[in-house]
Amino acid sequence: MGDTKQHHPSTLVIHAGQHADPHTGAVSVPIYQSSTFAFRSADEGAGRFLGTEPGYIYTRLGNPTIAALETSVAELERGAGALAAATGMAAVQTVYFALLGQGAHVVATDALYGPSRLVLETEYRRYGVTATFVDSTDPENVARAMRPETRLVYVESPANPTMAVSDLAACATIAHDRGALLCVDNTFASPLLQRPRDLGAHVVLHSLTKFLNGHSDVVGGIVVARDPELFARLRKVHRNMGGTMDPHQAWLVLRGIKSLALRVDRAQANARKIAAWLEADPRIAWVRYPGLASHPQHELASRQMDGPGAVLSFGVRGGFAPAKTMIESCRLATLAVSLGGIETLIEHPASMTHSALPRAEREAAGITDDLVRLAVGCEDERDLLADLDQALARAAEVAAVPVP
Ligand SMILES: *Cc1c(COP(=O)(O)O)cnc(C)c1O
């Protein structure tokens, strides 16, 4: 396929890293389901370990199918290299473990993906790492939290489930000026809609489980490094700590990535329609979607992203009970966590993902009792609107009953 670096993202998703197999001509990258690779001689083996001979050694250290996926995402995110991980959280661990150490400090978005925040507050804390969580939609909050020992600024944008958008270029400048690195969790946007590296991020990561794979049938993660030195550092930790991927898993994600542009275009078009429809509906208290003029960072999102994406949240009038009734009444939208799949998923954080948090803490993180998150898929928009409409009718019946 030659050099694909000059192509547009919707071409890259189909061709980057995905060359016909040199041995057989197979157009689909074969699944090299082998844990180890034979050497022709002891000297060749030694050369592969030293890096003076090309070729594979052992699948935890590298594998042709996994390498194809890593090339694909590295090119999409315009990085020096990528590292595929067993899960999104394994990718997060590679970043934290490689870049933090005894006495290091992290400044992170407060509305971080739950476990990404939790491991900093608990497990890394045990090793003397401290973290300050800030509302990163205002870069001043990030700047104020920086300390001499801050090694990492870790930002999620758009953030979950509030859809808050942070200024990535401003965060990159703050990190750079203080000798820290900026890592962006780009899961919600996908590389089609946002390329943090071009805005100055040093590391970009994804839960491949979401948009990149896109079919709700695989978990996986990936880390992309901006420059070769940082990539080498992350690679060493990643391979030795062991959170690497399996070849079959890599092949499934490669298969999913090929349709990323088609899926994101369709899901985003559906999300735009649904967001506008919800905003005009009296049964809805508010809608948070970067594509709406009412979104607090709408202007920034329009500048920083190539589109507002396919995830949105909204408030069902009446609060907890009507919101819960609404999600339980959907027949097409599936009641499930996760996002970025071809099918529409709906969830109610206050009764599901965030139910363990005390209400005050939930509200501080922007997760109100009425908040419903909708991860819009690729179905026909008319069917989705009809489903939401009938579910909201059920919710309105509950909202009409006075609380005793
Ligand atoms: C899902 C998710 C993760 C974690 O990924 P897993 O594949 O579930 O381990 C990290 N960040 C964000 C924003 C996510 O949505």
Are 342 and 193 part of one and the same domain?
Answer: no
Asked whether residue 363 is assigned to any structural domain, the reply reads yes
Pocket test for ligand 1, best of 209, 222, 249, 253 (most atoms within 8 A of CB): 209
Q: Are residues 351 and 290 in the same domain?
A: yes
Spans of the chain, pLDDT less than 50: 1
185 counts as catalytic: yes
Query: Is 383 found in the same domain as 349?
Result: yes
Predicted pLDDT of residue 371: 96
With beta carbons less than 8 A apart as the criterion, state whether 91 and 85 touch.
Answer: yes
Domain count, the chain: 2
Q: Is the pTM of this model over 0.85?
A: yes
SS3 335: strand
Q: Clarify whether residues 143 and 252 are in a common domain.
A: yes
Residue 283 token pair: 């049964």
- 383 assigned to active site: no
| First-residue to last-residue Cα distance in the chain | 67
Which residue range forms the structural domain that includes residue 300?
261-396
Q: Are residues 105 and 141 in the same domain?
A: yes
286 in the same domain as 240: no
Element (DSSP H or E) covering residue 181: strand 181-185
Residues 6+ apart with CB under 8 A from 227: 80, 202
Q: How far is the CA of 165 from the centre of ligand 1 (A)?
A: 17
Residue 148 CB coordination number (10 Å) = 7
Which string of b and e fits 299-314 if b means at least 16 CB within 10 Å? ebbbebbbbbbbbbbb
Determine the distance separating the centroid of ligand 1 and the alpha carbon of 323, expressed in angstroms: 24
The verdict on 219 and 321 lying in the same domain is: no
Please state the atom number of ligand 1 nearest to the C-alpha of residue 339: 15
Asked whether residue 21 falls in the same domain as residue 157, the answer is yes
Ligand 1 centre distance from Cα of residue 207 (Å): 5
Helices (H), 39-134: 42-50, 64-76, 88-99, 114-121, 123-126
Atom 7 (ligand 1) nearest CA: 88
**What is the number of the ligand 1 atom nearest to the C-alpha of 91?**
9
Rounded Cα distance between 338 and 312, Å, is 13
Last residue of one domain, picked from the residues 224, 239, 257: 257
Q: Is residue 322 in a domain?
A: yes
**402 alpha carbon to ligand 1 midpoint, in Å?**
38
162 & 253 share domain: yes
Q: Which atom of ligand 1 has the smallest separation from the CA of 156? A: 13
We report the CATH number of the domain holding residue 215 as 3.40.640.10
Catalytic residue among 32, 113, 124, 154: 113
- Statement to judge: residues 125 and 192 lie in one domain: yes
Q: Identify the burial level of 212 via C-beta atoms within 10 angstroms of its C-beta, where 0-12 means exposed, 13-18 middle and 19 or more buried.
A: buried
Asked whether residue 101 is domain-assigned, the answer is: yes
The per-residue pLDDT for 242 is: 95
Give CA–CA dist 260/56, Å, rounded.
Answer: 29
Does 211 share its domain with 289? no
Q: In what order do the strands lie in the sheet with 130-134?
A: 81-85, 221-225, 203-207, 181-185, 150-156, 105-109, 130-134
Answer left, alpha or beta for residue 28, where phi above 0 means left and psi between -120 and 50 means alpha. Answer: beta
The residue from 218, 233, 257 where one domain ends is: 257
Catalytic residue among 185, 246, 369, 370: 185
380 is catalytic: no
Active-site option among 60, 178, 255, 273: 60
From ligand 1's centre to the CA of 227, what distance in Å?
Answer: 24
In 3-state terms, what secondary structure has residue 67?
helix
Torsional sign, CA 107, 110, 116, 121: positive
pLDDT, position 403: 58
Domain edge (last residue) among 257, 279, 300: 257
